């Protein structure tokens, strides 16, 4: 290392979105490499509302690899972190920063240690795929720091080894994770189907559902499904391949009715294979089921679908509305059935793109209280309300892929010490 002294710190900051699958990944054929038993398709969510920011730094003064998540130091000793770090280090190249007088050769990276700080702009505990954005951001930012020449598709095969769904966060818009055939996983990569501008009418509403229950992690849940469910093989071999073809076409044609039918059916089948697991896994709760009923009833009454729903390994609902008008009507329905606890503040009950709230004519709690029951409910049955069953709502939309953040003020590590700011 031809630097003048040992005190330099070189760093890179990046921001990476999270994603929600509309055709689900559930089941691995290789646990260590994280290779799936079927293709999957996701939509990337706008990083303005849900994303991970990661700063990675290198310095000869660092004595070990260290990582901080949301300000707290965490261990990097897990196999998934180690696999990602090893893979990305092996793709490092020479790096030179003339202004700072730093020169790092390809070989130096094996000995140099890293500091990593990562921050989610949404509560990690909410169960909103934070590991997908997190591993994608880790791999993307390290690739830039180390001057790796790999494109995002090749980087996705590394992020995949951190968490399967992370590979789809390397792109914006709609993304397909191609399961691949190779034993070494080299062809199990993500590819963009269309970018975020292709279908920008869509509005995404997430209902963060209150839950006291500790859920089975995706990793162990899908292992148990593969080991015990007779239905999963049928899903992976017969159902998903057909759905993938139909979904790609629906997305390209912006065919909302087909998109909705496939998205809802696939979410429901994923939860069905969870139920078919021994012992059965329940990710959805009564609130999730009520949200499904509300959407199904409304879609039916309109004659053509207005909203698609999908649920991951938890009770939260991700609702994809065909356009702003539908999103407005959806939000009115959801706030009618699931008003916040008394005394709550509307501003923290609906977060993200609040303009939908304005469109819905809802400015304060009085407006929420005076919402009428949706017309599709029968007049003779009084509509029941479920106050407090939803923690809060996030309004968002399809979004872009990873970006570098170049302003020093955006970095999470101190440029002199390489420690969290
Ligand atoms: C239900 O990617 O979290 O969200 O690969 O074991 O880390 P690991 O699992 P993970 O599983 C995600 C499952 C899902 C569906 C999906 O995102 O496709």
ipTM over cut 0.95 = yes
Q: What is the CATH number of the domain that holds 383?
A: 3.30.70.890
Question: Which tokens belong to 240?
Answer: 């998903």
Same domain, 122 and 212: no
* pLDDT score of 137: 98
Residue 1 has pLDDT above 60, yes or no: no
**Residue 378 buriedness (CB in 10 A; 0-12 / 13-18 / 19+):** exposed
- Nearest atom of ligand 1 to the alpha carbon of 164: 5
- How far is the C-alpha of 6 from the C-alpha of 23, rounded, in Å? 50
Using alpha carbons, list the distances in angstroms from residue 119 to 37, 102, 187: 31, 27, 30
Tokens 């968002």 belong to which residue?
A: 396
Q: What is the pLDDT of residue 7?
A: 84
Provide the mean pLDDT of the chain: 95
DSSP 110-175: GT-EEEEEEEESS-GGG-S-HHHHHHHHHHHHHHHHTT----HHHHHHHHTTT-GGGGGGGSSSEE
Atom of ligand 1 nearest to the CA of 166: 2
Cα 116 to Cα 101: distance, rounded to the nearest angstrom:
22
Q: Is the pLDDT of residue 77 over 70?
A: yes
**Where do we find the tokens 């909103």?**
128
Q: Is 268 in the pocket of ligand 1 (CB under 6 A)?
A: no
Q: Is the pLDDT of residue 156 over 80?
A: yes
Residues 228 and 373 in one domain: yes
Nearest ligand 1 atom to the CA of 162 is 7
Please tell me if the CB atom of residue 131 comes closer than 6 angstroms to any atom of ligand 1: yes
Q: In which band, very low, low, confident or very high, does the pLDDT at 365 lie, cut at 50, 70 and 90?
A: very high
Tens digit of each residue's pLDDT (9 = 90 or more) over 210-254 = 777 778 899 999 999 999 999 999 999 999 999 999 999 999 999
Q: Residue 119 is part of a domain; what is its CATH number?
A: 3.30.230.10
User: pTM here?
Assistant: 0.96
24, 26, 132, 165: residue to mutate for ligand 1 pocket, most atoms within 8 A of CB: 165
Task: Judge if 178 and 260 occupy the same domain.
Answer: no
Q: Give, to the nearest 10 degrees, the angle between helix 79-89 and helix 130-145.
A: 30
Inter-residue contact 53 to 66 (CB < 8 Å): no
Mind listing the pLDDT tens digit for each residue in 157-176?
999 999 999 999 999 999 99
Give the alpha-carbon dihedral of 230, 236, 239, 244, to 10 degrees.
160
Mean pLDDT across the stretch 31-49?
Answer: 97
Q: Which two tokens stand for residue 229?
A: 């469910």
Q: What pLDDT is attached to residue 2?
A: 46
239 and 311 inside one domain:
yes
Range of the domain at 124: 10-195+405-410
28, two tokens? 């691995």
For residues 187 and 240, state if they share a domain.
no
Q: Are residues 220 and 158 in the same domain?
A: no
- Asked if 249 and 355 sit in the same domain, the reply is yes
Is residue 4's pLDDT more than 70?
Answer: no
Give the total number of structural domains in the chain: 2
Neighbour-count burial for 177-198, b at 16+ CB within 10 Å, e otherwise: bbbbeeeebeebbbebbbbbeb
d(CA 194, CA 372): 39
């Amino acid at each position: 290392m031809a630097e003048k002294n040992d005190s330099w710190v070189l760093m890179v900051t990046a921001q990476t979105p999270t994603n929600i699958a509309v055709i689900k990944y559930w089941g691995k054929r290789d646990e260590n490499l994280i290779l799936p038993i079927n293709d999957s398709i996701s939509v990337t969510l706008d990083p303005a509302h849900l994303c991970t920011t990661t700063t990675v730094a290198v310095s000869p003064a660092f004595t070990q690899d260290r990582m901080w998540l949301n300000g707290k130091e965490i261990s990097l000793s897990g196999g998934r972190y180690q696999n990602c770090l090893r893979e990305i280090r092996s793709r490092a190249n020479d790096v030179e920063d003339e202004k700072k007088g730093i020169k790092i050769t390809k070989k130096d990276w094996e000995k140099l240690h890293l500091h990593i700080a990562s921050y989610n702009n949404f509560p990690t505990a909410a169960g909103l795929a934070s590991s997908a954005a997190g591993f994608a951001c880790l791999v993307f930012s390290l690739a830039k720091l180390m001057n790796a020449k790999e494109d995002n598709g090749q980087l996705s095969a590394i992020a995949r080894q951190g968490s399967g769904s992370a590979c789809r966060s390397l792109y914006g818009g709609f993304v397909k994770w191609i399961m691949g055939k190779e034993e070494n996983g080299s062809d199990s990569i993500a590819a963009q189907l269309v970018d975020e501008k292709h279908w920008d009418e869509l509005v995404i509403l997430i209902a963060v559902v209150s839950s006291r229950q500790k859920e089975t992690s995706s990793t162990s849940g899908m292992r148990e499904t593969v080991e015990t469910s007779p239905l999963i093989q049928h899903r992976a071999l017969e159902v998903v391949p057909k759905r993938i073809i139909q979904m790609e076409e629906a997305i390209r044609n912006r065919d909302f009715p087909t998109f909705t039918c496939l998205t809802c059916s696939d979410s429901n089948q994923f939860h069905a294979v969870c139920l078919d697991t021994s012992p059965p896994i329940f990710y959805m709760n009564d609130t999730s089921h009520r949200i499904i009923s509300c959407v199904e009833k409304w879609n039916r009454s309109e004659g053509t679908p207005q909203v698609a729903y999908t649920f991951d390994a938890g009770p939260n609902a991700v609702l994809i509305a065909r356009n702003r008008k539908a999103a407005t009507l959806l939000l009115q329905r959801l706030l009618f059935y699931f008003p916040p606890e008394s005394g709550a503040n509307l501003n923290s009950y609906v977060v993200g793109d609040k303009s939908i709230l304005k469109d819905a004519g809802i400015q304060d709690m009085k407006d929420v209280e005076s919402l009428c029951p949706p017309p599709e409910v029968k007049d003779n049955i009084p509509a029941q309300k479920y106050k407090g069953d939803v923690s809060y709502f996030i309004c968002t939309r399809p979004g872009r892929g990873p970006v570098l953040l170049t302003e020093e003020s955006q970095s999470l590590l101190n440029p002199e010490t390489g420690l969290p700011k």
